[in-house]
Structure 1
Amino acid sequence: MKSRSIRALCSFAVLAAATTAAMPGAYAEDPYVIYLSNNFVGNDWRQQMLRVAEVTANKEPFAGRVDLRIENVEGTVQAQINSLNNIIRSKPNAILVDAASAEALNPTIQKACDAGIVVISFDQTISAPCAYAVESDWNRIPNVMAEWMADQLGGKGKVIIDSGLAGVPISANIEKGYRGVLSNYPDIEVVGTYNGDYALGPEQAGVGSLLAAHPQIDGILTQGYGSGAIKALQDAGRPVVPVTGFSYNVSALTCLETEGAKCILASNPAYLSSEAIRLAVQILDSGERPEERHILVNGPFLATGGFTSKLHPEADVVELENGKNAFPDLAPGLTLPVSPDWMEITPAESAGTN
């Protein structure tokens, strides 16, 4: 599968802007009707993603130009298919899909494409070739974090790895990425794995169990919060070791407030919904479509200190700072960073507290 960075999409954005600027009245008189079909709202990330989509649609350059309609469908793949069929019958300009299945929605998505509707999947993407897929780079993320861990350990030590959620392809891909990079360091030994299930409780329990079984653990590579791993170390009376995780507010604050903590946190930004809206409007405005359907969003890494990746020198590693990218007065489950670099979305807007 071909892929491209979201930065590469900027050339398409420039082309779209130039095209519409050169054509008086090129913008549609009526707002574009764009549906967001979401299959699940049961965690902090999905709720933030929906809030960010609404904020995006109501800010420049989209205010008055996008009529965003959100359809949340809890439960089954069939429920999302039924909802999508109803949406297609209303003939919107575009449909954004956070999908219940990569494959099962394909016939329905093809129906939308055949009707001339722009379809963009994001986060949990679909494989239908007529739809675009906007997501985080799940190859680069574990590569940079494992490289950071090897650097912190000076190329030697014993580590444990979070296998994520059983049966989930992204989980398997992250673990594979961790192991692939660490295999280049023969003096780093993986002594155990656990399933963190992307939740604080299982992460803390899994790490705690492995700490009880291994008197020496020098680093922990999680697929979740990282803060649960730090809590397990503290509960076991063990030194705080380098930890990888993802950029939840509670993770950032724990890394900043725990003495001796060393962390790197990857971002799977909730503003993927913003990127999907932007792409839809660019396509609708210009009438032009990117050649490649798979578009990667490269969010920054947050770390307790500076780091430059040799594997991915373009990776943006930003130092954690209270009040700048970690917020004591906001919800612990807030995903960071809260805003893309082309639009200002405040932490309060992203958290729904404004």
Structure 2
Amino acid sequence: MKRTAAALAALSAIVLTSGLVPQAKAEEKKPYKIYLSNNFVGNDWRQQMLRIADTVVKKAPLAGRVDLKVENVETTTQAQINSLNNIIRTKPDAILIDVGSPTALNPTIEKACAAGILVITFDQVATADCAYKVESDWSMLPAVQAEWIAEKIGGKGKVFVDRGLAGAPISEQLQSGFEKVLKNYPGIEIVGYFNGNYALGPEQEGVASLLAAHPQVDAILTQGYGSGAIKALQDAGRPLVPVAGGGYNTASLVCAQTEGAQCILETNPAYLSAEALKLAVDILDGKEAKEKHVFVYGPFLSTDPQPSKLYPDVKMQKIEVGTNAFPDLAPGLSLPITPDWVEITPQEAAGS
């Protein structure tokens, strides 16, 4: 029996509304418009962080879910505030912010929250209550490093301490974390400070300047690489001493390949941007976040792994070429490279 066009149309409508045939159009999810506001691009970590953000939105599970726009601004709080005000006017679904100040951006962040925009601060986070926070545990990282250094030199000696980047909130946390633990060792004296600026050149220059003024140093705690400090010791013809640094490939290689080097490297994964993006999409999808303050943990890398008494649960890996020190990868590559929910290749992270 032949059906009329009207009858066929009616039957199709019944089938569609009954759920017997998928409604592809209804199931399509429009990409979320997400801005990433970054206040500093002057080191390898920040550049890798931005590359990872760009990479991860093109891969499952975030592929097709995010319309990502990146705003890099000058290294001033006011420049970032001005940029954020412009972003808020576009009414995005979310703003991810690597902040230049833990407090100065709070009124602007609260303005975004009041406008119904999801705000996640990451890496360097703000104190605004309405914003989610994604970061490494900056209380734990310097404490474990300072403890390792103190035990390595037998609880006594003269040390240099890196102040990091002037005005950066994380720099203040790291310096304070080093000093708090070292105070528990009366035999240890901080004899000099320098600003490593999270870059090899300033780190090496800062240590070299202190070496010229101090005939004795027994350990060096940096906020950057650590390998710049080792190079300064070598250039000055001084004995190598235990060094604390960051989990960059060049630092890991220098520690692994330099005879007599003693190192502990903290890891602050550059994929914090990826974690912030995934959290944003999950929240926008209606998933309930367990915590508003999320800590991302990476392992410590060391030439001589030792258990921490202060933080017994921390992971510490021995530095070994081919395992966590890679001669064929970019020197400035931040380790570890990828979170466990997506695969970011070393080449993608390095931009090669």
TM-score interval, normalised by the smaller of the two chains: 0.7 to 0.9
TM-score by length of 2: 0.85
Q: Does 1:285 align with 2:285?
A: yes
3-state SS in 2 of match to 1:188: strand
For residues 224 and 261 of structure 2, the distance between their equivalents in structure 1, rounded to whole angstroms, comes to 17
For residues 159 and 75 of structure 1, the distance between their equivalents in structure 2, rounded to whole angstroms, comes to 30
For residues 193 and 79 of structure 1, the distance between their equivalents in structure 2, rounded to whole angstroms, comes to 29
Contact 1:161 1:220 in 2 (8 A): yes
For residues 169 and 261 of structure 2, the distance between their equivalents in structure 1, rounded to whole angstroms, comes to 30
- Which residue number corresponds to residue 301 of structure 1? 300
- Which residue number corresponds to residue 207 of structure 2? 207
3-state SS in 1 of match to 2:230: helix
Contact 1:247 1:265 in 2 (8 A): yes
For residues 27 and 134 of structure 1, the distance between their equivalents in structure 2, rounded to whole angstroms, comes to 30
Q: What's the CA shift string for 1:296-326, capped at 9, x where partnerless?
A: 2222211113221111112111222223322
Instruction: Go from structure 1 to structure 2 and tell me whether the alpha carbon gap of 1:114 and 1:28 turns closer, same or farther (over 3 Å shift).
Output: farther
Show structure 2 runs of 5+ residues with no match: 1-22
3-state SS in 1 of match to 2:204: helix
For residues 129 and 178 of structure 2, the distance between their equivalents in structure 1, rounded to whole angstroms, comes to 29
Instruction: Go from structure 1 to structure 2 and tell me whether the alpha carbon gap of 1:267 and 1:67 turns closer, same or farther (over 3 Å shift).
Output: same
RMSD: 2.4
Instruction: Go from structure 1 to structure 2 and tell me whether the alpha carbon gap of 1:224 and 1:70 turns closer, same or farther (over 3 Å shift).
Output: same
Q: What's the CA shift string for 1:156-184, capped at 9, x where partnerless?
A: 33322222234433223222221221222
- Which residue number corresponds to residue 189 of structure 2? 189
Identify the range of structure 1 (59-68 vs 209-218) with the bigger mean alpha-carbon deviation: 209-218
3-state SS in 2 of match to 1:173: helix
Instruction: Go from structure 1 to structure 2 and tell me whether the alpha carbon gap of 1:74 and 1:339 turns closer, same or farther (over 3 Å shift).
Output: same
Instruction: Report the identity percentage.
Output: 66
For residues 77 and 169 of structure 2, the distance between their equivalents in structure 1, rounded to whole angstroms, comes to 17
Residues 334-349 of structure 1 mapped to structure 2, 5 A cutoff: 334-349=333-348
Q: What's the CA shift string for 1:23-63, capped at 9, x where partnerless?
A: x9998722222221223323222211111011111111111
Report the structure number with the largest CA radius of gyration. Answer: 2
Instruction: Go from structure 1 to structure 2 and tell me whether the alpha carbon gap of 1:166 and 1:33 turns closer, same or farther (over 3 Å shift).
Output: closer
- Which residue number corresponds to residue 351 of structure 2? 352
- Which residue number corresponds to residue 243 of structure 1? 243
Q: Report the alpha carbon displacement of residue 96 of structure 1 after superposing the two structures with TM.
A: 0.9
For residues 208 and 177 of structure 2, the distance between their equivalents in structure 1, rounded to whole angstroms, comes to 24
TM-score by length of 1: 0.85
Contact 2:51 2:351 in 1 (8 A): yes
Instruction: Go from structure 1 to structure 2 and tell me whether the alpha carbon gap of 1:310 and 1:94 turns closer, same or farther (over 3 Å shift).
Output: same
Show structure 1 runs of 5+ residues with no match: 1-23
Letter in 2 for 1:324: T
For residues 213 and 151 of structure 1, the distance between their equivalents in structure 2, rounded to whole angstroms, comes to 25
- Which residue number corresponds to residue 136 of structure 2? 136
- Which residue number corresponds to residue 229 of structure 1? 229
3-state SS in 2 of match to 1:146: helix
